[in-house]
Structure 1
């Protein structure tokens, strides 16, 4: 009996239907003995009865407890509509914190009324936002410092349960780049047909947070297998190995994954093109193309990958590889070249990264919008999947405000609210947990320090999600690196907020009664102060929230 129960639980966890989950009015609570309390409405009459789990070698069965059978006055919220075949289509059964949907087919026997589970209908219900708006990038699941092979299952703040607990506190809806839990080719199939699913299996099925999966490679994506180490093995087109990798990964994880990003910062391939300003040559793969890998060739490759994904997951949403910035090469050479090679129909979402100071964004983002309009893709959703600032004043590579924990907290609002105001539907902060080491050029970009300590930016991020999200509309009232920056936010619940910063003064609008700086107190708390319409507010570069 115990073995059969364990098998059923395994089936519940592994035989999953495709995303999205079905809507359902109410859930049946399932106890540890798997007993079900059923409300069934047959020909307009509601009944209630219990069902005891009674498996045998022929399958997973539940037997009706006839003594509990009774007609009830009115149908419960989770009452099942039953047809003449008496099948029980259970749209939500809650077991150990996870919701499932499945069908029990009527299978009577001489000793009673039984229903047999149709295991092909088992589905895990996902409680994820239909349109995520905020996320975190580069999540160090099972990480080690210094980096090491294998999974670190001991340090608390690298464990999925602790990370997802923090996600709930922060209001994070989606996450991208999972490091050791990634589905990158070299992570899940480092050698031909040797698959490694352990970390991904423990992270991606989480029902509450939407993963954005990056396929192929972190930067230098191609159809070349990770075990290829010679230049003559480089593949610009999807071959047998790449097709097998893509097909295997998508078929395994399509139930959990809606968004597939095909590579990341593929513009790094310009390091092989002497006619352009070279990008960083860090982390070049062992197998390189002798004649380069042009944006046009990348476009052909990306369209091939997208086609394979859609063959195996028709509901897939394909995300353009994250563009490594908004410079002229990206907008005038790389993106037009990719579209020239592969067309513009293979991807659904435009995707870019931005790390320079917030001031430059006011100039670069409109130029990017103009490029999208010229290319005929301005109607696609736009995501900023990487942005952030270090809190370390000694790291001045990308910003130098000067940098500090307080400026990082301010930048949470300056970057994310700006992105929304310029039309982005998603903004993702880089990163959740900081990296260690003075030699790292990405040190202390996290909302949490490398030692697991909460930073002011953590509280600012939480303030943003609590006060602004989900948003219905964000209006850019003024955007001026040398003047006033003002944004009007209307939340999905109809509440109105303003975020303002810059130089000069701002007259508080009608209906506003409170204000607060986005930089928290020393204890992480926020002290709201009274405000009145018509009051003139002296601006600084630290944003203020008005409500």
Structure 2
């Protein structure tokens, strides 16, 4: 019986190897699903047949496990270009591989290449159960297509928007997809909590460790920044999860940077609740278990919009100051919808959205954020609260004014070395210093007015206006005297 089992195992491994050789050809990744089968190691057990449970209790060779199928062709299609981590701004979301269509991913990557080496975050459809489809059986199709041959710096989430769902219990992907598409937010969260990973269960803990270490090891040549989970500050066992994930990541990739799960809020009440939770966690010493702080904030379009952003940043920072924890801060989601009746933002337009691209990125940067990510790039359904936060039209894929304005801010201050807030009372004025020593000012006002900037920059200045409609997608440029610069709600770049 033992001989028969080993013979069958050998055939499975050989077939798996042939399949991998057929899939990875020349310089591209083709559409076939790449199902990686974990090779069983030698066990000390006297059992004649090893089941999944014993396999999962084994001590894996993570290098071999994570790179299975990549050894021979690894240098053919994997980008060797050194990533540029110095860019300040990024995009959250957009690379959702619906039905794992390679052509869709390819098209999106081509579009994003137009934005230079901008930061990217959140692949989508890359949950634990979508990569480890059965215990010890891996499908890297989607993540390989996106990560392996991409020059952009990435933030990948260990546990994404589906929370810390444990995939090998009572969880059903079909049931989960139906709940997401038909139920309200509370019912979705209730389902996630009911099926969440239990770190007190030894088997589930070991499965989670295997998953995290395998995922990080496979992409450690491409990915340096790992976020524990998406908006998981109020999920069950959050402290334990952060501690474990930090240690697991560092064990297999010591140079990696671990980003704490983000505080999130589309309202101040929600955000403040997350701040209170963070306060408790830092009091318990959690500051030793992450490298980068992180939050998400949206806010309604109101008269004190700019003050809302500043107060939010200050509330978040105050908790770190209280506990003497000094960490870089990243805002990995912020956005304004362009929908005229947006549930998220209130009444808006494409012009207002373009204005807020600059205002959000500038204000959070000036407050001290090291990186700021706009949500989002690609499609969002009309039933989603974040509908029309996209930089491109979700129906036609045509770039919106926000897209062109985002390109403009990347060009002007995308790699800034320093920023200073100069004016916040009668109007807003910020000074950015770029790596080459050039200085760019960003200014706007809550009402139309002419301001004298000669104390900051004398003589003639070049004023570049943002793009606010689809008819004129080339930024308007004018040269005027710095003693009389006209400002209104729309930010301008002054040099």
Give me the TM-score of the superposition, normalised by structure 2: 0.73
Does the aligned pair in 2 maintain the 1:303–1:342 contact within 8 Å?
no
Change over 3 Å in CA distance of 1:196–1:405 after alignment to 2? same
Give, in angstroms, the shift of residue 410 of structure 1: 0.5
Which of residues 217, 223, 226 in structure 2 aligns to 1:260? 226
Does the aligned pair in 1 maintain the 2:292–2:327 contact within 8 Å?
yes
Q: Secondary structure at the match of 1:344?
A: helix
Change over 3 Å in CA distance of 1:529–1:187 after alignment to 2? same
Give, in angstroms, the shift of residue 267 of structure 1: 3.0
Matched with 2:59 is: none
Change over 3 Å in CA distance of 1:338–1:493 after alignment to 2? same
- Taking the TM superposition and a 5 Å limit, the aligned residue runs for 1:91-490 are 125-143=80-98, 150-154=99-103, 158-160=104-106, 162-180=107-125, 182=126, 184-218=127-161, 220-221=163-164, 224-225=166-167, 227-229=169-171, 234-237=197-200, 239-269=205-235, 293=236, 297-325=237-265, 327-331=271-275, 333-341=276-284, 343-357=286-300, 358-359=305-306, 360-377=308-325, 379-395=326-342, 397-400=343-346, 402-437=347-382, 439-451=383-395, 452-479=397-424, 483-490=426-433
- Distance in 1 (alpha carbons) for counterparts of 2:354 and 2:168: 39
Matched with 2:437 is: 494
Does the aligned pair in 2 maintain the 1:413–1:464 contact within 8 Å?
yes
Give, in angstroms, the shift of residue 198 of structure 1: 0.6
Does the aligned pair in 2 maintain the 1:128–1:173 contact within 8 Å?
no
Alpha-carbon deviations, 1:425-479, whole Å to 9, x = none?
Answer: 1011100013133x22221111101121111111100110011121111111133
Does the aligned pair in 2 maintain the 1:221–1:264 contact within 8 Å?
no
| More helix per residue | 2
- Distance in 2 (alpha carbons) for counterparts of 1:511 and 1:166: 39
Alpha-carbon deviations, 1:342-378, whole Å to 9, x = none?
Answer: 521111000101110443113222232222211222x
Give, in angstroms, the shift of residue 232 of structure 1: 9.2
| More strand per residue | 1
Give, in angstroms, the shift of residue 531 of structure 1: 1.6
Relative contact order, higher structure (CA 8 A, sep 6+): 2
- Taking the TM superposition and a 5 Å limit, the aligned residue runs for 1:54-73 are none
Give, in angstroms, the shift of residue 487 of structure 1: 0.7
Taking only aligned residues, the RMSD between alpha carbons, in angstroms, comes to 3.0
Q: Secondary structure at the match of 1:170?
A: coil
Change over 3 Å in CA distance of 1:232–1:475 after alignment to 2? closer
- Distance in 1 (alpha carbons) for counterparts of 2:437 and 2:286: 39
Give, in angstroms, the shift of residue 172 of structure 1: 4.6
Give, in angstroms, the shift of residue 322 of structure 1: 1.7
Greater mean alpha carbon deviation, residues 170-179 or residues 500-509: 500-509
Q: Secondary structure at the match of 2:90?
A: strand
Of structures 1 and 2, the larger Rg is shown by 1
- Distance in 1 (alpha carbons) for counterparts of 2:197 and 2:417: 46
Does the aligned pair in 1 maintain the 2:376–2:389 contact within 8 Å?
yes
Stretches of 4+ aligned residues off by more than 3 angstroms: 9-14, 224-234
Q: Secondary structure at the match of 1:130?
A: coil
Say whether residues 1:545 and 2:493 are aligned partners: yes
Q: Secondary structure at the match of 1:187?
A: helix
Q: Secondary structure at the match of 1:251?
A: helix
Q: Mind listing any 5+ residue stretches in structure 1 that lack a counterpart?
A: 1-5, 15-116, 144-149, 270-292
Say whether residues 1:533 and 2:482 are aligned partners: yes
Does the aligned pair in 2 maintain the 1:135–1:174 contact within 8 Å?
yes
